[in-house]
A and B are shown apart, each in its own frame.
Chain A
Amino acid sequence: MTDKSKVRIFDIVNSTENEILENWLKLQISSTALRMDLLSERELRQQSAEFLSLFKEATSTGNWDINDSGWSRVLEFLDSISRSRAIRGFTPTETATFIFSLKQSLFTTLQKTSKNGTADLIQDLCDITLLIDSLGLFTTEVYLKSKEEIIVRQQTEMIELSTPVVQLWNGILALPLIGTLDSARTQVVMESLLSRIVETGSNIAIIDITGVPTVDTLVAQHLLKTVAAARLMGADCVISGIRPQIAQTIVHLGVDLSEVTTKATMADAFKHALNLTGAIVKKKQ
């Protein structure tokens, strides 16, 4: 990239800013990748104009490496746009089109104003392509990063939501597990169960796995660990809600559950627990 071409491009952008902007907007609006339902035209115009003025400012420094400090404001602005679009539900293509349609608009303008011959024009096109591409990649990266942040946040929320420990009776706790058990979740489940055991002074805990879709060796091991930890504290555990298919899987996997009391349904487990505490349920006379 020569300095001459940089200056030339800056001059063109500087002198025909409005034309480029109008072209760019037209391209964005006509493109199928624009979601008019999620973004108003006024907002789009505002974003585009602001980006173009920042872009102009950055190109004026003569340094075309987007990691350079001169580009930090452009990147900041792109960052905020990509984030807001990711949250509003734009697809990656729709988000990246914002930047890539600028390329087309710049090309048209360059072609019109070019007087110096084909060699210079090709050089300019190359430079702009490189620049816009790196900006486009940056946009996509930010988009993905913000999507990932959403996923991580939802995961932690799910962990918090999915471990309720309920007291069924004086001295009897129930822990209905829903969803797949992984190591991180088991840790949370175990901790909340054990702390509730201490708080309520319960000596029986029913772990219900009706909502656990699959039980593999790892999940079984996690369950056994929880049972062992509760036993160390002096509470008995009953595992309930074992579906026929899961019972088959457990045996096929060779998991030994013989040291744990298991019941088919929560009702059976509750009856067993009441029995252990010495309480009986009977009908009114």
Chain B
Amino acid sequence: MEKIPILKMGKYLLVTIQVDMHDRLAMSLQDDLTEKIVLYNARGVLIDISSLEIVDSFIGRMLSNIASMSRILDAETVVVGMRPAVAITMVELGLDMKGVKTALNVDMGMKMLDIFTGKNDEQEKLNDHSEE
């Protein structure tokens, strides 16, 4: 069975969806991703959907779910590169993906993750100092 590759980049995970998502693929991505977050102790997840041409309500909800799950596991999720046509369709479907962070491209997404996770890291450092 085909799988969507999940790449580790430093403290982040990079998921590039390059095939049309069907429901089973989406479910297996959910499983794999949560496992990998725990395995690598990832701080952020970047999902690139720039080559995705069709997003239906199921995939939209799955993206929201992935974001919520990774937040529970203390990793921020940024969805990048959504196409205009896909964005219009999702709004028409009433899926506004509240709670999911978005960016125009991978570059901006990475910067965004740096900002979000950077804050947490500083706090960690502070905590470390207080423990010493």
Check if A and B associate. yes
A194 neighbours in B (Cβ, 8 Å): 84, 87-88
A146 to B79, CA, bound (A): 50
B82 neighbours in A (Cβ, 8 Å): 232-234
Report whether over half of chain B's contact residues are helix, strand or loop; otherwise say mixed. mixed
Report B65-89 residues with CB < 8 Å from chain A CB.
79-84, 86-88
Q: Would you call B4 an interface residue if the criterion is a C-beta within 8 Å of the partner chain's C-beta atoms?
A: no
A211 neighbours in B (Cβ, 8 Å): none
Contact with B along A199-215 (1 / 0, CB 8 A): 00111000000000000
Q: Would you call A264 an interface residue if the criterion is a C-beta within 8 Å of the partner chain's C-beta atoms?
A: no
- Number of contacts between A and B (CB, 8 Å)? 57
B113: min CB distance to chain A, Å:
13
| Interface hit among A117-125, A223-231, A249-257 | A223-231
From A232, which residue of chain B is reached at the shortest CB distance? Answer: B87
B80 neighbours in A (Cβ, 8 Å): 234
Report whether over half of chain A's contact residues are helix, strand or loop; otherwise say mixed. helix
Size range of the chain B interface in the assembly: 20 to 34
Q: Would you call B108 an interface residue if the criterion is a C-beta within 8 Å of the partner chain's C-beta atoms?
A: yes
Report A217-270 residues with CB < 8 Å from chain B CB.
225, 228-235
From A200, which residue of chain B is reached at the shortest CB distance? Answer: B104
A234 neighbours in B (Cβ, 8 Å): 79-82, 102-105, 108-109
A197 neighbours in B (Cβ, 8 Å): 84, 104
Q: Would you call B20 an interface residue if the criterion is a C-beta within 8 Å of the partner chain's C-beta atoms?
A: no
Contact between chains at B102 and A228 (CB < 8 Å):
no
Size range of the chain A interface in the assembly: 10 to 19
A231 neighbours in B (Cβ, 8 Å): 96, 102
Contact between chains at B87 and A230 (CB < 8 Å):
yes
Known A-B contacts A191-B84, A191-B88; the reply to A232 vs B102 at CB < 8 A is: yes
A225 to B91, CA, bound (A): 6
A54 to B108, CA, bound (A): 72
Contact between chains at B102 and A233 (CB < 8 Å):
yes
Report A60-115 residues with CB < 8 Å from chain B CB.
none
B66: min CB distance to chain A, Å:
15
Contact between chains at A198 and B97 (CB < 8 Å):
no
Contact between chains at B91 and A229 (CB < 8 Å):
yes
Contact between chains at A203 and B108 (CB < 8 Å):
yes
Contact between chains at B105 and A201 (CB < 8 Å):
yes
Contact with A along B32-72 (1 / 0, CB 8 A): 00000000000000000000000000000000000000000
B79 neighbours in A (Cβ, 8 Å): 234
B97: min CB distance to chain A, Å:
6
A174 to B120, CA, bound (A): 34
Q: Would you call A195 an interface residue if the criterion is a C-beta within 8 Å of the partner chain's C-beta atoms?
A: yes
Q: Which of B96, B103, B105, B108 contacts A228 (CB 8 A)?
A: B96
Q: Would you call B90 an interface residue if the criterion is a C-beta within 8 Å of the partner chain's C-beta atoms?
A: yes
A229 to B82, CA, bound (A): 10
Contact with B along A161-201 (1 / 0, CB 8 A): 00000000000000000000000000100110011011001
Enumerate 24 A-B pairs (CB-CB under 8 Å) in ascending A order.
A190-B88, A191-B84, A194-B84, A198-B84, A202-B104, A203-B104, A203-B108, A225-B91, A225-B92, A229-B88, A229-B90, A230-B87, A232-B82, A232-B90, A232-B97, A232-B102, A233-B82, A233-B87, A233-B102, A234-B82, A234-B105, A234-B108, A234-B109, A235-B104
Residues of A within 8 A of B (CB): 187, 190-191, 194-195, 197-198, 201-203, 225, 228-235
Q: Please name 4 further chain A to chain B contacts, defined as beta carbons within 8 Å, in addition to the given A231-B102, A234-B82, A234-B109, sorted by A numbering.
A: A187-B88, A225-B91, A232-B97, A234-B80
Query: What 5 A-B pairs are tightest by C-beta distance, nearest first?
Result: A194-B84, A234-B102, A234-B103, A229-B87, A232-B87
